[in-house]
A and B are shown apart, each in its own frame.
Chain A
Amino acid sequence: MSLLSVQNLSVGIHGTPILRDVSFEVRPGMVFGVVGESGSGKSMTALALMGLLPDGAETSGQATLQGQTLLGLPERQICAIRGAEIGMIFQEPMTALNPVRTIGDQVAETLIVHGKANRSEALKIARQRLNRVGLPAERFPLDRYPHELSGGQRQRVMIALAIALRPQLLIADEPTTALDVTTQAQILTLLKSLVQEDGMALILITHDLAVVSDIADHIAVMEKGRIVEKGPLETVFRNRENPTTRKLFAASNHAPQRVVRAHTEPILEVRDAIRIYNPSRRRLFSKTQGLRAVNNVTFSLKRGENLGLVGESGCGKSTLTRAILGLEPLQGGEIRAFGTPVGPRMPKSQRAKIQVVFQDPYGSFNPRWKVVRLVAEPFHLLENAHLNRRERVAEALESVGLCADDMDKFIHEFSGGQRQRIAIARALILRPKLIVLDEAVSALDVSIRAQILDLLADLSKRFQLSYLFISHDLGVVRSITDRVLVMKAGEIVEEGPTEQLFSNPTHPYTRQLIAATPRLPDDLKPPHADSKGTA
C-alpha cells in the first residue's frame, strides 16, 4: 500500500512546461531520493505536492496521499494537510526560522495553528520533538533564539518543526547542502533514524549522488522536468540505463587529467602567519577581545603545484585567503610571493602576480558593467592598461571557452557556469603565475563543475599556473590537487601529498572529515570508472 502516489503530474507556469508526466510512489518507511541538476524540476515537484506553486501555475495529473487527493485543493484544505500530513525541510537553515521568536514558540506554533493542542500542551510536545532531534532540554531550553544556534542546530529545529504533528511524509529539499560535512553526516543520520524508528516516509531532494547513495532506498533521476530513470537505488546505480544518469555519475566521479610538474622552487611562502580579527565593538569605549582566525600557519606552494586547503566553515580559510591576496595585514609572521613580501601596501606589480576566483558566480560581478570592463578590471594594475585592451580580453575569453563577442554583453546574460568562466578569464588576463581558487566550483552543478575542473587543469598546463585550491569539498580537492593542507580553528593540523593524506590520514580531525564525507559506494561503481587521484 503506497503512502503517496503521483501519476502523470505536469506543471506549467504561464504556459511554459516545468514538469512533464512525473509519476512515482512512496511507501511508508521509505526514503525516496530525487536527484538532478538545478532546474531539473526537483524542487518544483515538492512544491506542487505541497500546493506551494507560484502564481500562474497550472497542474494536471493525480497526486494522492493515502487516497486523499492533493492537487487542486482549495487553500484551506491544503493548509490543513501541509504540516499535519506532509512536513517540509528547506535548504537554508539560516533564513528558514523567524529570528525574533524562540525555537519552542516556533515548533509549538504548528501544533496550535492546526488546532491539535493548546499552548501549554503544544510547548510540551515541542519539547519532546526537540529532544527527538537531538536538542536536549539542558542545553537547548525552549526559550533559545535561532541566532544562538549553529547552522546544524537550526536545521535540527527545522526538522523538529516539520515532525511536530507527526506527518507521514517528510519532504527534505537539499537539507544538508548548506552545512559542513560533519554536520551533514549528523543530519543525515537523524533523518534516517526518523524513517526507521518513527515509520515516516522521506522524499529527499538533492543534487548529490553520494548523499542519496548513503540514505535512499529508491531514487528518481530528473532532467528537464521529467523523471528519466527510477527504481531501487542499487538497480539504478548499477544499470544506469539513461544517459542522464550516466552523465551525473561521470560528473560526480570526475577527475581531470593532469600532469604533475614537480618543481622545488617555492612561489608562495607563508611563515608563522597570525591574523587577529577584531570584532566590531559593541559599545563605543569597550575593549574588544581579538580572535585568532589564523594562528601560526606555515606552508609553501611550489611552482606548478596544485595545493589544496580544506576545512569547515569558520576555520580561517577565508581569512588566510585575504591575507595571501594582500587585502588584510597580518599581526605576525609573513607571507612572501615570488620572493617578495605580500601585504596591503605591496606595489601593483606584485599584486598582479596573484589573482583570484571566488565562489559565488552571481556576486562576483558588478551587474552594471559589461563583460569587457569586468574582465579588464585587473588592468588597473598595469601601466599601459589602455593598449589593445579589447584584444587581450578577447584572448582571455577564448582561452576559457567563451567567444570574443561575449565581451559586449552584460553579466546577467550568462549562466552560473559561464560566469565562473568569466571569473577565470578575469583572473587570467594579467597572466599571473598563481591563482587562488576560493571555493571556485562549490556553487556549480556536478556536470558544470566537471567542465570547470577540466578547464582549470587545461589552463594550468597551458599557462604553467599554480593553484591554491580552497574548498570544503574533499572530493573535489582530492581530484585536482597534488598536496593538501587540513585547517582547523586557524591552524594547519595535517599536511601531505593528496593520495597519501586521503588514504592514510593521521590527524583525528582529518579522519573525522574523511569519514563524514558521503561517498559513492565502491561496489556500485562501474568497472570503467576512472580511478581518483592524479595520473
Chain B
Amino acid sequence: MKLPHTLVLGAILFGLFLAAALVSFLWTPFDVETLDIAAKLRPPGALHWFGTDHFGRDIFSMIMVGARTSIAVAVVAVGIGVALGVPLGLAAAARHGGVLDEVIMRGNDLVFAFPSLVIAILITAVFGPSALNAIIAIGIFNVPVFARIARSGALSLWTLDYVLAAQVAGKGKIRISFEHILPNIANLLIVQGTIQFSLGILAEAALSYVGLGAQPPTPSWGRMLADSQTMISFAPHLALFPGFAIVLTVLGLNLMGDGLRDILDPRIRRRVRSRPERSPE
C-alpha cells in the first residue's frame, strides 16, 4: 500500500524531534546545566550550531533536552485523556440514553465549558508551577475529547448486527465494548491522539512561557521563548530556534494525523479500494 505523503513527511518531522529527545539522554553537544557567561549570546556557528543564550548555554543542546520535556508532558497528558476518556465514552455509548450516559456527557460539557488554558493556569497557580501539574492540567482537558470521540464511534457500532450477535451469544456490555467496539474505533482514537499530542506540546509551551510549566534549570521550549523576548532585537536566534522546534513538531504531528486518517478511516479507504457492492435490498 502506498503511504500518503503527509504521513511520511509528518513522521519524518516528528521522528527527528523524538530522536533528539532520546539521544539527549545519552549525549548532548554541551551540558545544559553548566553556565559559561564568557560565551554568552554567541550567534550560530561551527562550535555552537544554534548559538548560545545569555548564560552561555548551548541552544542546540537545550532544544534536544527541551524536546524531552515537551514530548513527555504531551505523552502523559494524552495518556490521561485516553485512559480516562475512552472508558467513559464506551460506558456512555453502552448505556446510550440512560442516566449514566447523561451524567458522563454533561460532565464532559462542564469540562469543555472552561477555557482549557485558563484553567491550566489556575491549577498550576494553586498547586505550584511544575511540569507534573502542567501534565495533569493538560491531561484533564483531554478526557472529554476522547470521551466524545469514543462515544460517537461506539454509538454507530452499537447499531450493527455483529454487536447484536454478540449479545445473543450472551456477552455483556463491558465485554462487547472491549472485544468488538474498542478495536473498531482504534483508528479514530489514534488519529485524535496525534492531534491532541500536538495540542499538548503547544499547551506545555504556553504554560512554560508564562512560567507555570517545567521549572529551571530543566530546559523547556516555551520558557526559552519567554527568556528570549527582551533580547530579541540583538539575539534573534534565541527566539527563532525554539520557535521553529515548536512549529515543526506541531506541524509534523498534524500532518501525521491527517495521513493516518487517510489510511485508517475505513470510509475513505473503502472509496479508494473499491466501491462497496450494492445489495438489492
Contacts and interface: CB of A to CB of B under 8 A. Distances in A.
Contact of A381 (B169, B277, B280): B169
Given A363-B161, A442-B281, A380 B180 contact: no
Interface string A433-445: 0000001001111
24 contacts: A38-B277, A91-B278, A174-B280, A208-B280, A278-B97, A280-B96, A284-B102, A284-B106, A327-B167, A351-B170, A352-B170, A354-B168, A356-B164, A356-B168, A361-B279, A362-B276, A363-B161, A363-B162, A367-B184, A368-B184, A377-B171, A378-B169, A380-B170, A416-B279
B2 interface: no
Contact of B281 (A39, A284, A443): A443
Given A358-B161, A364-B160, A379-B169, 10 more contacts: A39-B277, A43-B278, A207-B280, A208-B280, A325-B167, A361-B279, A364-B165, A366-B180, A416-B277, A439-B281
Contact of A443 (B165, B183, B280): B280
B165 A38 contact: no
A410 interface: no
Contact of B161 (A327, A360, A378): A360
Contacts of B165: 356, 358, 364, 377, 423, 426
Q: Which of B102, B164, B168 has the most CB of A within 10 A?
A: B168
Nearest to B165: A364
Place the interface of chain A in its size category.
35 or more
A498 interface: no
Contacts of A281: 97
A352 B276 CA distance: 34
A18 to B, nearest CB: 11
Interface residues of B, number: 25
B275 interface: yes
A367 to B, nearest CB: 7
B191 to A, nearest CB: 17
Interface of A: 38-39, 43, 54, 91, 174, 177-178, 207-208, 278, 280-281, 284, 325, 327, 348, 351-352, 354-356, 358-368, 374, 377-381, 416, 423, 426, 439, 442-445
B266 to A, nearest CB: 8
A504 B180 CA distance: 47
A38 B279 contact: yes
Contacts of A356: 164-165, 168
Contacts of B276: 362
Interface in B118-172: 160-162, 164-171
Contacts of B164: 327, 356, 358
Q: Is the interface of A mostly helix, strand, loop or mixed?
A: loop
Contacts of B170: 348, 351-352, 378, 380-381
Given A177-B280, A443-B280, A364 B168 contact: no
What are the 4 A-B residue pairs with the smallest beta carbon separation, nearest first? A358-B161, A364-B161, A443-B281, A207-B280
A369 B277 CA distance: 21
Contacts of A358: 161, 164-165
Interface string B223-255: 000000000000000000000000000000000
Contacts of B97: 278, 280-281
Interface in B159-217: 160-162, 164-171, 180, 183-184
Contacts of B279: 38, 360-362, 416, 443-444
Given A359-B161, A360-B161, A363-B160, A327 B168 contact: yes
Nearest to A43: B278
A381 B168 CA distance: 9
Nearest to A439: B281
B161 to A, nearest CB: 4
Contacts of A352: 170
A377 B162 CA distance: 10
A416 B276 CA distance: 11
A380 B97 CA distance: 27
Nearest to A349: B170
B280 A38 contact: yes
A351 B161 contact: no
A368 B183 CA distance: 8
Q: Which of A358, A366, A368, A416 has the most CB of B within 10 A?
A: A366
Contacts of B102: 284
Nearest to A91: B278
Contacts of A377: 165-166, 169, 171
A24 B191 CA distance: 50
A355 B165 CA distance: 9
B168 A365 contact: no
A384 to B, nearest CB: 15
A208 B180 CA distance: 36
Contacts of A207: 280
Contacts of A374: 162
